[in-house]
Structure 1
Amino acid sequence: MTWARIMAPLSGGQGDPPTIAAAVALAEPFGAELACVYTPADVADVMPWMGEGFLGGVQTTALESLKEATAVGEGNARKAAAASGYAKTHFIGLQTPVWAGLSAESRLSDVVVFTSDPARGRGPLAEAFQQMVADEQRPVLVARPGLKVGGVVAVAWDGGKEASRAARLATPILERASRVVILAAPKASSRSFDPNRLKAYYAARGVSADVEVLSDSGDAAPGLLKAAGAAGADILVAGAFGHPRLQEFIFGGTTRTLLGTDGPSLFLSH
């Protein structure tokens, strides 16, 4: 299996260069296209708050300021994308309606790359992260410092739908890993499952994996992070748990801990 298109949402700010660097690190081993997608604040989202007569006075000034900031941000994002030096980089500047455009681009991408800040609800791309995970249910890589393809990959497994989807979609990076370890914490789950079933699934696809059964009960996240760290994992594959509510993705406890704690890069799927 392979990936052909990696997508990196950009804001035009200081977070763009590390996002692009992480996306290049993911795209390069596959020879994949890198789609750098500038995702500005949407004028259409602001206009309803201006009320009637928004074309006059303060409202017009605010609208023009937003347009100017968007143009500056796009210029910064273009420069950051060009500076990557990756030959297969493609820049896309989204226009109103921004969220529809972002959704369309993500649906034709294999993985969407973010850094930790948007994943923790910080900065201008926080809503885009929630949209990708919750609404579009796209595979997302939360890149941490030191991200690399070809190192150790840990797979968190509980036999559930979210974990199963993440485990399947991550197969391309597992095929290139130096070691794959399946982490299972049966005492932290209400369901009965056999991690050797996933090991057999991978073996049928040419991926050799070890199994480590954790003794932790309660919230599985601390045990998973500890085991991933002990294994020297560069990437932790996990299902993202939560519920869309009032257009906000409410993360479950395990997912919140994984996102909020420093550790390996995260490959997530909801």
Structure 2
Amino acid sequence: MSVFLTLTEGADFMEEANVLACRLSQRLKTKIQGLTAMPDPTGSLLMTGSGIGLYMPNSGVVMSSIQDAQRNTCEKLETAFNAVCLREHIEPKMMSVRHIVGVPEQEFAGAALLSAGLVFPHDCGRASGPYGVAFEHTLMSKRQPVIIAGTDKDPNLSTIVIAWDGSPEAARAVALHERVICSADRVVIAQNGDKLNLEDKHAPESSERIREWLEVRGMATTVRQFSGSVADGLLKLTKDEGAGILVAGAFGHSRVEEMIFGGVSRSLLRAEDGPALAIAH
């Protein structure tokens, strides 16, 4: 079971995501594997003719130029990946790169199955290109857990914050990211005090539920409450605690409904200096 890192062309925060994936793999004592996914150029077709239209394969020259461009991109991504891994003291036997011929949307979602963690660079959480679509598809359509890296060049993974409101999405995020959570030295349970029923200790949002879940796994826990805006409160609390990862449930709808994520999820994903987000839907 490996930590997978999506090596995405043109990402502004690719290196930050690489560092996060390296440190996570070290805490989990597992391998890290970089993944590229690019479509097969031989499947490209051009339509020509008039009226009925005739489909013909691209010329050999065009095909060759596409293959060369893809090969150069893969080499650059692999070189950068290896450099960061070695700088983070990853042993060569614990790191590798796999270049996949296929559509990112399909291939990255497949990698999330039974992985220790699938990491996307920060850019993918707010992009509309093929990598942003791959992130959305993996999270929302395939309902696989994903980790969106933050913009921190030196993420601290010793402390993890869990956004807990008792919802099915929050519970699913905790369950699917169990290994990531248990790799930390300390876990902080974050709750919006404005939305709690403090008189009912058996309410779904009660911190007792998640505390018991963590204590069974031998995790040291602290409960912190905040008020006001959920997104702002979570970001501030995570920063105050020095946590490198925030575990949260993702809310929202499909692109067809014009709302990919709920307001909280959207704000967390677009935060310029927020933590990495370990999310599930």
Q: TM-score with structure 2 length normalisation?
A: 0.80
CA separation of 1:162 and 1:117: change in aligned 2, threshold 3 A: same
Aligned positions of 1:208-247 closer than 5 A: 208-216=220-228, 219-246=229-256
What CA distance in whole angstroms lies between the structure 2 residues aligned with 1:5 and 1:70?
Answer: 25
Q: Is the 8 A contact 1:26 1:148 kept in 2?
A: no
Q: Partners in 1 of 2:196 and 2:44 — Cα distance?
A: 44
Mapped to 2, the partners of 1:79 and 1:118 lie a distance apart of 21
Whether 1:142 and 2:153 are equivalent positions in the alignment is no
Instruction: For residues 193-215 of structure 1, give each alpha carbon's deviation from its aligned partner in whole angstroms, at most 9, with x where no partner exists.
Output: 21222112211221121112333
SS at match of 1:263: coil
Q: Which amino acid aligns with 1:26?
A: L
Report what 2:187 is aligned to. Answer: 180
Give the conservation status (yes or no) of the 8 Å contact 2:145–2:278.
yes
Partner SS, residue 212 of structure 1: strand
Question: How high is the sequence identity, in percent, across the aligned residues?
Answer: 27
1:5 equivalent to 2:15? Answer: no
Structure 1 residue 249 displacement after superposition: 7.4
Residue 168 of structure 2 is matched in structure 1 by 161
Q: How many residues are treated as equivalent by the alignment?
A: 262
Stretch moving more, 199-208 or 4-13: 4-13
Q: Match of 1:156, as an amino acid? A: A
What SS class does the counterpart of residue 260 from structure 2 fall into? strand
Mapped to 2, the partners of 1:49 and 1:170 lie a distance apart of: 46
Per mean C-alpha deviation after superposition, the further-off stretch among 119-128 and 236-245 is 119-128
Residue equivalent to 2:57: 55
* Closer/same/farther in 2, CA of residues 236 and 101 from structure 1, 3 Å limit: closer
> CA shift at 1:79, angstroms?
1.8
AA aligned opposite 1:32: T
Scaled by the length of structure 1, the TM-score of the pair is 0.82
What SS does the aligned partner of 2:223 have?
Answer: strand
Q: How far apart are residue 231 of structure 1 and its match?
A: 2.3
Inter-partner Cα distance in structure 1 for 2:115 and 2:35: 11
Q: Secondary structure at the match of 2:254?
A: strand
Map 1:1-270; keep pairs closer than 5 Å: 4-13=1-10, 15=12, 16-41=14-39, 43=41, 47=45, 52-55=54-57, 63-83=63-83, 84-85=85-86, 86=90, 87=92, 88-96=94-102, 98-121=104-127, 125-144=131-150, 145=152, 146-150=154-158, 152-185=159-192, 187-188=194-195, 193-216=205-228, 219-246=229-256, 250-261=260-271, 262-270=273-281
What secondary structure, in the 3-state scheme, does the structure 1 residue paired with 2:38 have?
Answer: coil
Q: Which shows bigger deviation, 164-173 or 243-252?
A: 243-252
Partner SS, residue 92 of structure 1: strand
Alpha-carbon separation, structure 2, partners of 1:49 and 1:212? 60
**Structure 1 residue 8, shift from structure 2 partner:** 0.7
With over 3 angstroms needed to count, the CA separation of the structure-2 counterparts of 1:224 and 1:133, relative to structure 1, is: same
- Greater gyration radius: 2
> Higher mean Cα deviation, 104-113 or 247-256?
247-256
Unmatched tracts of structure 1, length 5 or more:
none
Partner amino acid, structure 1, of 2:109: S
What's the CA shift for 1:7? 0.6
Q: CA deviation at 1:171?
A: 3.2
**Gap change, CA 1:109 and 1:247, over 3 Å in 2:** farther
How many angstroms does 1:223 deviate by? 1.6
**Counterpart of 1:197 in structure 2: which amino acid?**
R
**Residues 3 and 115 of structure 2 are in contact (CA less than 8 Å); yes or no, is this contact kept in structure 1?**
yes
Question: How far did residue 36 of structure 1 move?
Answer: 0.9
RMSD, aligned CA: 3.1
Q: Distance in 2 between matches of 1:69 and 1:123?
A: 18
| Change in 2 beyond 3 A, CA 1:137/1:207 | same
1:204 partner letter: V
Shift of residue 41, structure 1, vs aligned partner: 4.7
CA distance in 2, matches of 1:221, 1:49: 48
| Distance in 2 of aligned mates of 1:148 and 1:233 | 6
Q: CA deviation at 1:39?
A: 1.9
